[in-house]
Amino acid sequence: MDRRRAFTGLLANPVVDRVRHRELFGLVRSPRHRPELVNWFSSRLGYRLVVTDTAARLFRLPLGDSVIAPRRVNPPARRALILALLAAAAAEEAEDITSTQDLSDRARVLSAREDCPVTAYEPDRFPERKLFITALDLLVSAGALAAVGGDAVDRRDSWARQADKVGGTFEVRREMLLRMADPAALGAALRQRGAVFTDAAERFAVMRRIIELPVCLYSDLTEAERTYLIRQRGRVVGWCTEMTGWTLEQRAEGLALIAGAESATDLPFPRLRAVDFVTLVILGELYRDRDDDDVVTETDLLAAVDEVAVRHPKSITAEVATPAARRDRAVELLRALDLLRPGSRPGLWRLTPAAARYRSPRILAETASIEEIR
């Protein structure tokens, strides 16, 4: 159904550009779908969908000062986010067509101002220039900048190494630049709490957990949210089916919305890659070693990390060659999938009920390394 594709497409791509996302933008802007999409996001999730002639922007407005959204894997560094804000402010004063160097020069001047409470940007340092490239990529993904002529990666790298005096060329898309920050979201970020969501807070919190997160556990809900879900379970199930067409699994511990296809989720698991295989085996070991409260120790985790290399040496690629790399990547992925959470004190981890879905994985064959399969 086209309306469902538009809904799930907006969840995956909060910024939809008419040029870059031609098909999805057409679905979102269609008179047959646009009013209903706006209503779905507003009345069921508490989000705001803004659609213009050139783009669509979904604002995930906070509830109070918190945002319920999927945990990001490999998020950009905080410094890159700060430089992205500086670059966005610089772009507002730049010409319609600008360059990496021009934005860098403007960001440096802005960061040196006394009223700018950030560490000064130092473009003479290679690490800073690399982070500035990442910052510009973030602005491109937000629709505020558009690369002109492809903005080849090698050209950007040359600028970072000070071998190119101009760098990439960008078109400043002012409408989307000005829509990067929503007033309501900004107010919440500054802890200016309002009463906008008072009457619907429970509905929005429950629906966001089901739609946005891998699983909605009853133990994570407040008493008011659990009461709402118990009373409105039929309506909630109907809404989820109507908006996505996916299956809502209902278990004793909570609910999980199961996507109809791997491409429909932002983090399919397990995929045919070394990190996922290693993580799956580690998870199986942890599930076996958990105590009655589903708690494991850091020692258990490290033992599971070592066991993978012993039992499945062909799965060990360069990306997970060392025990530390295997441990960190596995923890990062398991936490993003909400299968593993920090325990009550340092050195402890707790498996969530959803981890049982992946218990005792059975390896049918191992005829080639993961790296060779790819």
Domain boundaries of the chain, sorted by first residue: 1-61, 78-178, 206-259, 274-373
Question: What are the structure tokens assigned to 158, written together?
Answer: 């040359």
Sign of CA dihedral 147, 57, 268, 22: negative
pLDDT at 244 over 70: yes
Q: State the DSSP H helix or E strand holding residue 84, giving kind and residue range, or none if neither.
A: helix 78-93
pLDDT band (50, 70, 90) for residue 155? low
Q: Identify the CATH class of 78-178.
A: mainly alpha
- Mean pLDDT calculated for residue range 58-86: 83
Please tell me the pTM assigned to this model.
0.81
Residue 330 to residue 322: CA distance in whole angstroms:
12
CATH topology for the 274-373 domain: Arc Repressor Mutant, subunit A (1.10.10)
- Mean pLDDT (whole number) for 6-28: 92
Rounded mean pLDDT of 51-64?
A: 86
Which helix (H) or strand (E) element contains residue 256?
strand 254-258
Lowest mean pLDDT among 6-10, 99-103, 192-196: 192-196
Report the pLDDT value the prediction gives residue 341, as an integer from 0 to 100.
95
307 contacts 315 by C-beta, under 8 angstroms: no
Q: Is the pLDDT confidence value at 370 over 80?
A: no
Residue 154 pLDDT > 70, yes or no? no
* Range picked from 50-59, 157-166, 266-275, 279-288 for highest mean pLDDT: 279-288
d(CA 320, CA 12): 28
Higher pLDDT: 126 or 184? It is 126
Model pLDDT, residue 5: 94
Q: Are the folds of 78-178 and 274-373 the same?
A: yes
CA 359 to chain centre: 26
pLDDT-derived band at 108, boundaries 50, 70, 90: very high
Handedness of CA 113, 117, 118, 119 (dihedral sign): positive
**For residue 261, with 0-12 CB atoms within 10 Å meaning exposed, 13-18 middle and 19 or more buried, which class applies?**
exposed
Q: Categorize the per-residue pLDDT at 265 as very low, low, confident or very high, splitting at 50, 70 and 90.
A: confident
pLDDT, average across residues 84-94:
94
- Pairing of β 169-172 and β 145-147: antiparallel
Residue 275 makes CB contacts below 8 A (sequence gap 6+) with 319, 320, 329, 330, 333
Output the pLDDT for position 167: 85
260 pLDDT higher than 90: no
pLDDT tens sequence across 29-56 = 999 999 999 999 999 999 999 998 888 9
Partners of 296 in beta bridges: 349
Reading across the β-sheet that carries 247-250, which strands appear in turn?
Answer: 216-217, 254-258, 247-250
The amino acid at 350: R
Q: How many CB atoms lie within 10 A of CB 183?
A: 9
70 SS3 class: coil
Q: DSSP of 323-353, one letter per residue?
A: HHHHHHHHHHHHHHTTSEEE-SSTTEEEE-G
Say whether pLDDT at 346 is over 80. yes
- Residue 163: band (very low, low, confident or very high) from pLDDT cuts 50, 70, 90: confident
pLDDT digits (tens, 9 = 90+) for 172-193: 998 888 877 777 667 766 665 5
Work out the percent of the chain whose per-residue pLDDT is above 90.
Answer: 62
Q: Is pLDDT above 70 for 194?
A: no
Higher pLDDT pick, 75 / 88: 88
Q: Would you state the pLDDT for residue 195?
A: 45
What is the per-residue pLDDT for 271? 87
Q: How would you classify residue 260: left for phi > 0, otherwise alpha for psi between -120 and 50, otherwise beta?
A: alpha
Residue partners of 27: CB distance under 8 A and separation at least 6: 2, 3, 5, 6, 9, 33
Summary mean pLDDT of the chain: 88
Q: Tell whether the model's pLDDT for residue 373 goes beyond 50.
A: no
What's the whole-number mean pLDDT along residues 318-323?
92
Residues 6 or more apart in contact with residue 23 via CB below 8 angstroms: none
